[in-house]
Amino acid sequence: MKKIINSAKKTLEKGNLVIFPTETVYGLGADATNIDAIKMIYNLKKRPFNNPIICHFYNIKKIEENFEITPLDYNLANIFWPGPLTLILKKKITSNIHPILSNNLNFVGCRIPNNVIALELLRSVNFPIAAPSANLAEKISVTQLNHLSSELIEKSFLIDGGLTTLGLESTVLKTEKNKIKILRLGSITEEEIQKALPKSKIEKENFDNSLSPGNKKKHYSPNLPIRINVKHVKENEGLLNFGINNLKSNICEYNLSKKENLKEASRNFFHYLHLIDRSNCKGIAVAPIPSYGLGKTINDRLKRASAKDE
């Protein structure tokens, strides 16, 4: 692995892209201080420039060098980092993180991932790594390398870390005094945040508004048509099932978690969605998923996956 990390480091230093594992999903990484490298991410992903990219750091000291951190931010950081938390923080004017990363806004999403490979890579370079999820804009996130789209493979150095452990992206939070705003649901649940900081007020954004531009109505979309909360499966539809029930597909079927375990379901979610999308089904039918804990995040992704073009 040392050799691979070293090649990845050199790739980033040259201003090129590296696809690397995190505990949530794979990231498409670049030097966050290099404008041309950041532009390559936007172009390759076909992502609009008004949708900011988050920055990954090795530790909180590196974040402190670039950002202002409030007491409530520190509380969240101490509890959830390294881990699937993205905190929107105010950039210091002395920071050399390029403004193009955040659509010229002073607020940038920051995260310390909990993955040995990602942390080794971050430790090896002397700049933060800008990295959105390694998928084309609006498409399904990638939790193992063989689901990557060919456009991304051609232009990047790849690090294989197997299937990611959590399977859903980070939770994006922004604090305001004693208030915590959830900008994107993710691998940390609202219940976990409330339990960790019972005195803070948690506010959920209308997830379709523009505070977090990545929260577009249509996102995480498979190529096949998808129906959610189904009561029956149509002929030639593939089934993404949850728990034990009477649903059946005549063509292909994956169960997110027979034991109705939402953690297991989260880990399998994008992986199985890719598998059904690639199969010879005519469409995808998804069983109802409970709407608490991680189920809320899965349902958020499903709602967007099944949304029509805007």
Residue by residue, DSSP assigns 12-61 as HHTT-EEEE--SSS-EEEEETT-HHHHHHHHHHHT--TTS---EE-SSHH
- In the complex, what is the shortest distance from the CB of residue 181 to ligand TXA, in angstroms, rounded to a whole number? 10
- In the complex, what is the shortest distance from the CB of residue 218 to Mg ion, in angstroms, rounded to a whole number? 13
- In the complex, what is the shortest distance from the CB of residue 46 to Mg ion, in angstroms, rounded to a whole number? 12
Stretch that binds ligand TXA, among 52-60, 69-77, 272-280, 296-304 (CB under 6 A): 52-60
- In the complex, what is the shortest distance from the CB of residue 196 to ligand TXA, in angstroms, rounded to a whole number? 19
- In the complex, what is the shortest distance from the CB of residue 137 to Mg ion, in angstroms, rounded to a whole number? 8
Q: Measured between alpha carbons, how far is 88 from 175 in angstroms, rounded to an integer?
A: 8
Q: Measured between alpha carbons, how far is 88 from 85 in angstroms, rounded to an integer?
A: 10
Give the interface size with ligand TXA as a residue count (CB under 6 A): 31
Is residue 266 a contact point for Mg ion (CB under 5 A)?
Answer: no
Cβ contacts of 56 within 8 Å, gap of 6 or more: 22, 27, 29, 110, 111, 112, 113, 118, 122, 128, 129, 130, 131
Stretch that binds ligand TXA, among 68-76, 169-177, 220-228, 283-291 (CB under 6 A): 169-177
Residue from the set 33, 133, 175, 299 that interacts with ligand TXA by CB under 6 A: 133
Q: Which of residues 132-161 bind Mg ion (CB under 5 A)?
A: 133
Q: Helices 2-13 and 116-124 sit at what angle, rounded to 10 degrees?
A: 50
Q: How many CB atoms lie within 10 A of CB 258?
A: 12
Residue by residue, DSSP assigns 79-94 as HH-SSSEEEEEEEPTT
Q: Measured between alpha carbons, how far is 69 from 259 in angstroms, rounded to an integer?
A: 41
Q: Which of residues 108-137 bind Mg ion (CB under 5 A)?
A: 133
Binding partner of 83, given Mg ion, ligand TXA, none, CB within 5-8 angstroms per partner class: none
Residue from the set 9, 40, 52, 304 that interacts with ligand TXA by CB under 6 A: 52
Residue from the set 130, 148, 183, 284 that interacts with ligand TXA by CB under 6 A: 183
